[in-house]
Amino acid sequence: MLAERYFAEDPNTCLLKLRQLAELLTQMVASRVGLYADAEEKQVDLLRRLQDHGILPREVASLFTQVRRAGNAANHRLDGDHRTALSCLRLAWQLSLWFHRTFKDAGYQSGPFLPPAAPADESAELQAELARLRVELDQYRANHHDAAQQLAATLAQSRQTEEERAFWETMASQAETAKHALGQRLEALQAEASAQPAPAIAQLVTAANNAVSAIQLNEADTRKLIDAQLAAAGWTVDSVNLTYGKGARPRKNQHLAIAEWPSETGPADYVLFAGLTPVAVVEAKRKNLDVSAALQQAKRYSRTFQPSPETELPETNWGEGNAYRVPFAFSANGRPYLRQLATKSGIWFCDLRRADNLGQVLDGWYTPEGLIALIKRDETKAHEQLANTPFNFGFPLRYYQQDAIRASEQAIAAGLREILLAMATGTGKTKTCIALIYRLLKA
């Protein structure tokens, strides 16, 4: 409530309050499953610990991390604009709903996000985003007339001047008392959870993972997550300000992810540039849409890419019939890869230089250096070199170890992504793996 109150006049403080909310939610999760240590534990360490124990699904952890990073930037660098604050308000709303569905009511159905009061000097982008959220709210009210009337009455009542003033005065006076009481409550929940049998904790883990499916992110939220992921991989990115329409162009010795780059079939969500050369096209999709299928749209943007005067392209295009102007294609919706939702999660990637290359899911984004190295790699030549590499290591390999290595290499050459070697105890698994890795690195 404090975050919403500060949004219009002080987005920096709004982000600080949202970080505090995220920290509290994390501690509440830990205390419910017997993993709470104390209030001094860093949130990044607690998040990692909850993930390691399977309590926190990766998608939820990524939302917590986004709010944490924005709050840290607000605290240490005095950062915080209205766009970031609005995005984090929505993420915190989804995290709170996830918490409620995990520990209280698995079937809880939420209404729409209620946009906060707009600032006096809202930008065009923020104005458009708030307007879109108000349209969503109006559509929900139209479809849920009775609930909308009740909601409107509640909102009108809560906004009466005298009641609101009294509420904030009470909150201010009770803040320290509430903080002390909260610490006691966390310790009590921790003690209660520690006494629970393992099956009870396992049920909470299941509930936490089931609640993930109800998380809803719009396109703006998705872009914010993808921005953060690309930045973590080493790309300079800002899908609101670093756009083609606002004059962003590739620059020498810089690795830019420029949004809304034009093509003959519409703007691409991002084009990744290594210096002046476009190396990848990215299609961003909202959650619950088929990410793997979105690769086709990214491929289309590669075929119809429109260079700017600054852009440097190779003399010939890539792929079958020299159809592709940009060698790599990505599609993503911001959520980590989940095997049970294989086509609707993760980062999907396709190397367009060969016609027989299929789309595959990645666990993270390529770094700029990784894509540059991939461009230079000649797979056909590498496979030939691998086939002709002798088994002359500093240690001998038995015939069946060599057979296992050759079979793995042939599977890789055939495009298989998942390969299992089954070897009995004492048959030299470690030597086999070392030799296989060495041969792959050498080629």
Please report the domains of the chain, with CATH numbers, ordered by start residue. 2-212 (no CATH), 219-376 (3.90.1570.30), 380-442 (no CATH)
CB 426 within 8 Å of CB 372: no
Q: For the residues 302-323, what does the mean pLDDT come to?
A: 90
pLDDT of residue 228: 87
pLDDT band at residue 153 using 50, 70 and 90 as cut-offs = low
Does residue 330 register a pLDDT over 90?
Answer: yes
Could you give the C-alpha distances from 164 to 154, 157, 178, in angstroms and in order? 13, 9, 19
Report the distance separating Cα 443 and Cα 397, nearest Å.
19
419 burial (CB, 10 Å; 0-12 / 13-18 / 19+) is: exposed
Least Cα distance to 302 among 290, 289, 319 occurs for: 319
Q: Which two tokens stand for residue 248?
A: 């962003």
Predicted confidence (pLDDT) per residue in 159-188, tens digit: 555 666 666 666 666 666 677 777 788 888
Nearest-Å Rg of the Cα atoms of the chain is 26
Does residue 388 register a pLDDT over 90?
Answer: no
Q: State the CB neighbour count (10 A cutoff) for residue 6.
A: 20
Per DSSP, the chain holds a count of helices (H) and strands (E) of: 15, 7
Predicted confidence (pLDDT) per residue in 232-256, tens digit: 899 999 998 899 999 999 999 999 9
